[in-house]
Chains A and B, each alone.
Chain A
Amino acid sequence: MEKESRIRPAGDQALLVEFGAEISPGMNRRVHEFARKAGVHKIPGIGEMVSSYCSVLVYFDPLLLSFSETASWVKGFLSPEPVEADSPSKIKEVPVLYGGEFGPDISFVANHNQITVDEVIRLHTGETYLVYVVGFSPGFAAMGSVPLKIQAPRLASPRTKVPAGSVGIGGQQTGIYAVESPGGWQLIGQTALTLFDLHKDPPSFFQAGDYARFYAIDEKEFLKITKDGIQKSEFRSLSGTR
């Protein structure tokens, strides 16, 4: 509700609007609804707005606006009402080659939960996930929540290099490293899709608020997708709800 939201300075060029302190689809919808409404009604001096799980960082130009003026503008878009979910009409499907050299932690995830690798794959591919945020590195989509039986803690020491396309599990979340970067999630597979292309607009395959599902492919299909360059940003429409 509105009284839960807080607006505080993040230095003199930005302020943070927090809607609460939870990771949930309902909270995330409020974030995106706020960003959407505010985004179409920007006043001079309002800059970029960076959305995350339950907050929005609003940049402003201190040459034009004070913190108080920006906060007042923000308040105009805060609403106490919950935002209804729409049924996910577009679910982006991600083909994944599970295990093997690009899924070096899949056994860990299995053992940690005392299930088999096949069950990890079955559970991971059985859910429709909400993309909570795209961030940390270009195109990295953090999604949730994975079934309890495949949750796994992040690595104690992050890897300095995670290959592009790596599919991982971190806590309750799953996600995909779109570009090579350091990373601390448990890697369970690799997708052949190109998830970040700087010549496209938008450059990222995923955006916050998208829905995603994973499906298993074998090595032959994986090579075919990467070799033939089959349409890399396809998604299939699925009717119905998650």
Chain B
Amino acid sequence: MIEVIKPGLFTTIQDQGRWGYQNYGVGIAGPLDPFALAAANLLVGNPQGAAGLEITLLGPTLKFHRETIFALAGADLDPQIDGQSISGWTCYLAPSGSVLSFGERKSGIRAYLAVSRGIDVPPVMGSRSTYLLGRFGGLEGRTLKAQDFLPILSLEENFRNLVGKVFSPTLRPPYQKNPNLRVVLGPFDEFFSEEGVRAFLTSPYTVTPQSDRMGYRLQGMPIKRQKPGELITCGLANGTIQVPPNGQPILLLADRQTIGGYPIIATLIHADFPLIAQCAPGDQLRFKAISVDEARQAYLQLWGNLGRFKQ
């Protein structure tokens, strides 16, 4: 078991998402930084999609009630084992009774904790991801609370040789504060005036505090329409950037609704999901349009690093 002594600001169990139920209104959920969760999982010998914890800003205090192989990836939230600083992107063996805690964040805002063999909560509709809107999945469909106990499986002896392995910095996403984010325009960019599209692609947008796992509300130059009215509601891909009547874009993320009707100017590319996942309120974003084929190349390049680590 892992005992939750302090839950942290916003900690949920996530695997790579709940697919197959969007036609029943059930969103995908999953990690905002899927690369970091995958990397942490690979470090501990798990499949990329095993269930771990998504930790936001202020990390939890967790006690390992048995020897546990674990790794952290994503943000640097100053992790410590029994008060001693440890590194992210590294596989560790936590002794029985040891305590993992976090200090002040140093970079990014979302860290992922993977434990060997995954967090063993029962899957719901095929996934262990927490679906907050539906209040199911993960641990009772909610964020962690003090005195929660997370079930884990016993350590496999032949995984001990993973301890000490590092996921090389050269393979990690190019995280940065105030990132430039690449998008594919559309599918409804024709709703916007040339001026509106130009504003979107040339001026900075600030992440407002009204930003969470459903989406990031951004503030900047209003994006003007040239066609009135709403879209007819359609499915919403991860990374959809929709623009409500006030002209301020909303970048939709893992916990977004399955369908919606605000006009969609562009969609964030997969390779840049890790970058947005690490942005905090106050950070500034700039968008750049690329082709769908360039977007695919970027994804293959970055996700290929997961394969390069395995070797």
Chain A residues packing against B (C-beta within 8 Å): 8-14, 16, 18, 21-23, 47-57, 59, 62-63, 66-68, 133-140, 178-179, 181, 196, 198, 202-204, 207-208
Can you list 8 A-B pairs with a CB-CB distance of less than 8 A?
A: A10-B186, A11-B238, A51-B235, A57-B235, A135-B259, A138-B25, A196-B24, A204-B24
Among the 9-residue stretches B3-11, B50-58, B295-303, the one with 4 or more Cβ atoms under 8 Å from chain A is B295-303
Chain B proximity of A110: nearest CB distance (Å): 26
Count, A-B residue pairs, CB within 8 A: 147
* CB–CB B24/A54 < 8 A: no
Min CB distance, A42 to chain B, in Å?
A: 12
A55 touches B24 (CB 8 A): no
Partner of B257, one of A9, A23, A59, A137: A137
| Distance between Cα atoms of A55 and B233 in the complex (Å) | 9
Given contacts A23-B232, A63-B300, are A135 and B258 in contact (CB under 8 A)? yes
If A53-B232, A198-B125 touch, whether A11 touches B25 (CB-CB below 8 Å) is no
Taking the closest CB of chain B, its distance from the CB of A134, in whole angstroms, is: 5
Of the 9-residue stretches B14-22, B36-44, B74-82, which lies at the interface with chain A? B14-22
Which of A47, A62, A179 is within 8 Å of B19, CB to CB? A47
Chain B residues with CB under 8 Å of A135's CB are 22-23, 25, 233, 235, 257-259
Which residue of A21, A50, A178 contacts B22 across the interface (Cβ within 8 Å)? A50
Provided the pairs A10-B186, A136-B257 are in contact, do residues A62 and B23 lie with their beta carbons within 8 angstroms? Answer: no
Known: A10-B187, A66-B296. A181 touches B24 (CB 8 A): no
**Interface presence of B269 (CB below 8 A):** yes
Question: B267 within 8 Å of A by Cβ?
Answer: yes
Please report the C-alpha to C-alpha distance between residue A57 and residue B188 in the assembled complex, in whole angstroms: 13
Asked whether B153 is an interface residue with its Cβ less than 8 Å from the other chain, the reply is: no
**For the complex, would chain A's binding face be called helix, strand, loop or mixed by DSSP majority?**
loop
B residues near A10, Cβ cutoff 8 Å: 186-187, 235, 237, 240, 264, 267
Please tell me if the beta carbons of B293 and A204 are within 8 angstroms of each other in the complex.
no
Which A residues are in CB contact (< 8 Å) with B184?
9, 11-12
Contacts of B209 in A (CB 8 A): none
Give the residue of B19, B21, B267, B299 whose beta carbon is less than 8 angstroms from that of A203.
Answer: B21
Q: Is the CB of A138 within 8 A of B24?
A: yes
Give complex CA distance A234, B86 in Å. Answer: 57
Question: Shortest 7 CB-CB distances between A and B: which pairs?
Answer: A57-B235, A11-B267, A50-B235, A12-B295, A135-B259, A204-B24, A14-B237
B26 interfacial by beta-carbon distance below 8 Å:
yes
CA distance A137 to B187 in the complex (A): 23
Task: Tell me the chain B residues, 87-141 only, with Cβ under 8 Å from chain A.
Answer: 124-125, 133-136
Given A63-B300, A138-B24, A198-B134, 10 other A-B contacts at CB below 8 A?
Answer: A11-B267, A13-B237, A21-B232, A53-B232, A55-B232, A133-B233, A135-B22, A137-B134, A140-B25, A203-B125
B25:A57 contact, CB within 8 angstroms? no
Complex Cα–Cα for A50 and B21 (A): 9
The residues of A that contact B237 with a CB separation of less than 8 Å are 10-11, 13-14, 57, 59
Could you say which residues of chain A place their CB within 8 Å of the CB of B270?
11-13, 62
* Residues 265-302 of chain B, each 1 if its beta carbon lies under 8 Å from chain A, else 0: 00111100000000000000000000011011001100
Distance of B296 from chain A, by nearest CB (Å): 5
Contacts of A56 in B (CB 8 A): 235
- Determine the residue in chain B with the shortest Cβ distance to A179: B134
**Which residue of chain B has the shortest Cβ distance to A21 in the bound complex?**
B232
Interface-centre pick from A18, A50, A52, A55 (highest chain B CB count, 10 A) = A52
Complex: A52 Cα to B184 Cα, angstroms: 22
Report the separation of the CA atoms of residues A202 and B124 in the bound assembly, to the nearest whole angstrom.
12
Question: Is B235's CB under 8 angstroms from A16's CB?
Answer: yes
CA distance A68 to B295 in the complex (A): 13
B218 at interface (Cβ–Cβ under 8 A)? Answer: no
Q: Which residues of chain B in 136-193 are interfacial with respect to chain A, using CB atoms and an 8 Å cutoff?
A: 136, 183-184, 186-187
Question: In the bound complex, do residue B186 and residue A62 qualify as a contact, i.e. CB atoms below 8 Å apart?
Answer: no
Q: How far is the CB of A99 from chain B (nearest CB, A)?
A: 26
Chain B residues near A139: list those with CB within 8 A.
24-25
Are the CB atoms of A9 and B25 closer together than 8 Å?
no
* Residue B236 is within 8 A (CB to CB) of chain A in the complex: yes
Give the docked Cα–Cα distance between A10 and B183 (Å): 10
A198 to B21, CA, bound (A): 11
* Residue B215 at the chain A interface, CB threshold 8 Å: no
**Nearest Cβ in chain A — how far from B147, in angstroms?**
25
Nearest CB of chain A from residue B16's CB, rounded to whole Å: 12
Option from B22, B25, B133 in Cβ contact (under 8 Å) with A48: B22
